[in-house]
Structure formats: C-alpha cells, structure tokens
Amino acid sequence: MKFSLYIVGGLLVGLLSIQACSEDKVDQLGPNSEKELIRAADVSFLPTIRKEGTVFFNAQQQAGDALDILKAAGCNTVRLRLWHTPVSSSSSLQEVRTFSNEARTKGFKIWIVVHYSDTWADPGNQEKPAAWANASVAILGDSVYNYTKRVVTLLNPEYIQLGNEINGGLLWPEGRFSNAANFALFLKRGAAAVRETSATTKIMLHHAGTEADAFYATVKNQQIDYDIIALSYYPRWHSKSLTEVSSSLERLSTANDKDIMLAETAYPFTLGWNDYTNNLVGEASHLLTGYPASPTGQKDFLMTIRSMMELTPRGLGFSYWEPEWVAYRGTEASDGSPWENMALFDFNRQALPGMEVFKE
C-alpha cells in the first residue's frame, strides 16, 4: 500500500455459496481455528506519530501507547516497511531496527517488508534505491543479496517480504515483471540471502489484489523460492465480492502449494474527516454492500476477513494496514492522515470495536 494526499482513484460446504449483500458475512470457524492465526498490524507510521505526542485510548478510555493497546487486544505480529535510504529517518533501517526490537520485547513477532527502494514501492512505483541507480543487472542482483542478508542479520524477522506489491516487478526498469529473467534473478538472490542467514524466517511474495493467478504462475514457472503467498485486499481497489476473494485464496494456495495470507486490508468506520487531508476512502461506492462505514460495519468486515482466513485450508492470517494512522497533526492539517477514517481508533483516538478481530 502507498498513500497520497489526494483521492485516487474444500471450505465448509454451503458456506462459500456466499452471496452479495449481507450474505457475504462469514461467522463460522473453519479448519484453522485451532492454530494460532497471524493477527498482524502494519504500524509503520507509529514512530512518526509518536513524535507528535499523540495519545491513544483503549476501549475503557485509558490512555496508552498504540502498540500496547494493540497487544492487549490480541495483536501478535507487527508488520514494518523498510526503505533503503529514505530522505528522513522514517522507515530507515535504524528506525525499523529500534522499533522492531521494542515490539519484540513486548511479545510481538516481526514481519519486515523490504521495499528495495528509498520510498514507496507498489504496483505503480518500483524505483530503485539511488545508491543502485547505475548498477548493471548482475550488480543489482548482488546488491539485493547483500542488502537482504544484512536486513535479516540485523532484524531476524519471523517473516520477510521480498518487495512490496510487486505485481509489475521490482527495481524498475530492469526488474519489471515483463522481464521474467531479471524479475526472477532479483527475487532468487533475495531468497538465497534469507535462506543462508536464517533457518526460521519465512519468505513472502506480495501481490496487490487477489486476482493473482498469472503472477504466481510465473513465480512458479521461474522456480522462485518462497513460503507464503501474500495479498492486499481493499474493497475500494479490488473485488467487491467476498465470494470471489474467498475462492481466489483457496485457488491460489492450491495451485501453488503454498500457505496464504492477507498482508494488507482495512475498512472505514466512517466516511467523515478529522483533518484537512483528503481521504483515500471516502465515498459510498468504495464500500461493500452490507458493510456500512460505521464502527459496527468495520468490525463486521474484519470478522468476516478473519473467518475467511480461518476457513481457507492453508490460510495463515491477516494484517490490518495502519490502524494507528489517526489525524495526528491536528484537525486542520493538510499534510496529516488520509487514513484516519480507516484507523482502528476513532476521531477521539479511542479504540474501536474492530480491535476485537485481534482476539485470541
């Protein structure tokens, strides 16, 4: 996921005859309900938000740090983006190392998202780090290997994503998805670095959207080493049918013989605003039928997503993207949060009912 300050455009028999509207809600438990589900939150903005002195509150209106509130709610994993050489300290290796160490002391597992860029990497942006700008394909491969090895050595994550939303490849232009040889080379070098450094870190490959058959078929044909299919799913940008999403999860997992999870998802608790920064999700057309933009609608969506992952035979879990990204720069900031209506804290920064999705 990336953000802009402007609005931009098998399973239980019978259960997956899920229809549109409210029939898309799933509340049964499935074959994975007895194992520990990955119940993650991407809180990459939290170090920046803390610098503004932002105070959060749990459901009992007790003040606390967002990380502690998430942990108490049952969140068991933190997902953190990593930029190579960002213009500020945000998402730098130093910041991510400090923050991941703190999270680990609080009992979280660590999931690192290596963007292989100095800034946001996503389906429309995969800019190489400036330090690698003039490197040949061979040197780029070496750079991926050496950098990934350093990251795993320093952070020792339980999970690592090689790239972020790499639908179109990574390290453009050399590593575009259309150039299968280079695309595969870079990912293979990254995977080799992980395997040689850690016997326990699981490798994820991340695609934005759940219609990803061609992408993972190419990965399979290129014999790229990885453990987990990781997908983004936002109703605004992806499917409006939870039936289709559920079918895609099982189909992709089965076809590729891999565990699978939703690496990013989120849903609004309101279509209102709490600062002067345009919100990314702010229209009724962005919603799923039967899931209003309300605290209850947000919670219902998340519990459906959780149940869907529990019902998927090799489903591992989910990650909520930026539950803490409230209007942290004040109600009149035009450079604040385009996500405050998607947070898991309301406009008073109090935990919303959607936090219950993290319960054990």
Q: Which of 95, 174, 250, 264 is catalytic?
A: 264
Element (H, E) at 49: helix 46-51
Torsional sign, CA 214, 12, 286, 353: negative
Please state, in angstroms and rounded to a whole number, the distance separating the CA atoms of residues 130 and 135. 10
DSSP conformation letters of 71-107: HHHT--EEEEEE-SS-SSSTT-HHHHHHHHHHHHHTT
Instruction: Establish whether 165 is a catalytic residue.
Output: yes
Amino acid (one-letter) located at 81 = R
Q: For residue 127, what is the DSSP state? A: B
Strands (DSSP E) found in the chain: 38-42, 56-57, 63-64, 77-82, 109-114, 159-162, 202-208, 228-233, 259-265, 315-321
Please state, in angstroms and rounded to a whole number, the distance separating the CA atoms of residues 201 and 110. 10
Strand 315-321 relative to strand 38-42, pairing: parallel
Please state, in angstroms and rounded to a whole number, the distance separating the CA atoms of residues 325 and 171. 28
Distance of CA 315 to the CA centre of its chain: 15
Long-range contacts of range 172-178, CB-CB < 8 Å, 24 or more positions apart? 172/126, 172/127, 172/128, 174/137, 174/140, 175/126, 175/140, 176/126, 177/215, 177/218
Instruction: Establish whether 264 is a catalytic residue.
Output: yes
Instruction: Cite the active site residues.
Output: 165, 264
